[in-house]
Amino acid sequence: MTLDLVIRKARLSDGAAPVDIGVRDSRIAANAAQIASEAPMLDAEGGRILRGFADSHLHLDKACLLDRAANPDGTLGGAIAAVSAANGHIARVFAMAQGFGVDLDFHLDFDLDTRWRHLDEVARQTIAHGMQGRVTIGHGTKLSMLPPEARQETVALMRDADIALTVLPATDLFMTDRDHDHAVPRGVAPSHLCQAAGLGDESRAHDLRGTAAGLCRPASATPHAAFAQADTGR
Ligand SMILES: [Zn+2]
């Protein structure tokens, strides 16, 4: 068998003795105690092989759109306005996802104001577009402030739409309460209650660069300056 790469002395998740792993066309093609091959070799030195990590929460405004959709005031509201202006409203985002045949990741209801929310509308549109199981919502901190009945209604809608909730305590514990000087709320989506209601959820560390930028940013700093601060630790 012709291989493109052999990873030698790699330990699998069963913790047994290290094995050689043969790769061909970017796929695992062989797995044995020893593989005879002239292919380029990577020595794992007994280290454990892990499957690829999946990060279910990525900020387009920081990772991909910063130069094209500027957020001059550096706030979440500014980011939403910048991205909304580029991408339109929720229905249009669904239409685009269907047009491109991709799944959707909304960063939604990332505040503690219970007077409005978009979680329900996204759940309704997920069902209307037949995209159950293909939509993730990150943050959803507003869920932590909803009275039980309203929360149950919203979570039931999200469950029916088979939406995954990505809970992000590393960011939300710090960023949702910045305008409170007393009775500070936790501002983290109640994942245990959502799970108990049948909602799939994941907890993520959040992108540290974005979190650190939010924490260290003085009011006068531009987003670029804040990210540079976060990168350099100063
Ligand atoms: Zn986020």
| pLDDT at res. 147 | 94
In a domain, 116, yes or no: yes
- Verify that 125 and 222 share a domain, yes or no: yes
Residue 162 and residue 71 in one domain: yes
Residue 104 lies in a domain: yes
What is the domain extent for residue 134?
60-232
For the chain, 234 residues long, the average pLDDT of each consecutive 10-residue run is: 93 89 93 94 92 73 63 64 59 92 90 88 93 91 93 92 86 80 87 78 55 47 53 50
What is the CA(29)–ligand 1 centre distance, in A?
Answer: 37
Q: How far is the CA of 28 from the centre of ligand 1 (A)?
A: 33
Residues 215 and 153 in one domain: yes
The answer to the question of residue 128 being in a domain is yes
Report the C-alpha gap between 234 and 232 in whole angstroms.
5
Residues 100 and 204 in one domain: yes
Q: How far apart are CA 61 and CA 223, in angstroms?
A: 10
Q: What is the pLDDT of residues 5-58, one digit of tens each?
A: 999 999 998 878 999 999 999 999 999 999 999 999 999 999 998 877 767 777
134/103 same-domain check: yes
Q: To the nearest 10°, report the CA torsion of 39, 40, 43, 48.
A: -70
For residues 131 and 160, what is the distance between their CA atoms, to the nearest angstrom? 11
Say how many Å lie between the CA of residue 60 and the centre of ligand 1. 10
- Do 96 and 149 have their domain in common? yes
Which amino acid would we find at residue 180? H
Q: How many angstroms separate the alpha carbon of residue 136 from the centre of ligand 1?
A: 12
| Residue 136 maps to a domain | yes
Query: The domain that contains 204 carries what CATH number?
Result: 3.20.20.140
Enumerate the β-bridge partners of residue 11.
48
Q: How far is CA 171 from CA 84, 140, 188, in A?
A: 22, 12, 9
pTM above 0.85, yes or no: no
Same domain (yes/no): 36, 71:
no
* Same-domain check for residues 65 and 37: no
| Domain contains 216 | yes
**Is 53 inside any structural domain?**
no
Expressed in angstroms and rounded, the spacing between residue 138 Cα and the centre of ligand 1 is 6
Asked if residue 98 belongs to a domain, the reply is yes
Same-domain status, 39 and 146? no
Spacing, Cα 206 to ligand 1 middle (Å): 6
Number of structural domains found in the chain:
2
Do 220 and 143 lie in one domain? The reply is yes
Residues 182 and 79 both lie in one domain: yes
Q: For residue 30, report the distance from its CA to the centre of ligand 1, in Å.
A: 39
Q: Do 38 and 85 belong to one domain?
A: no
| Residue 155: count of CB within 10 angstroms of its CB | 26
**What confidence score (pLDDT) does residue 81 get?**
63
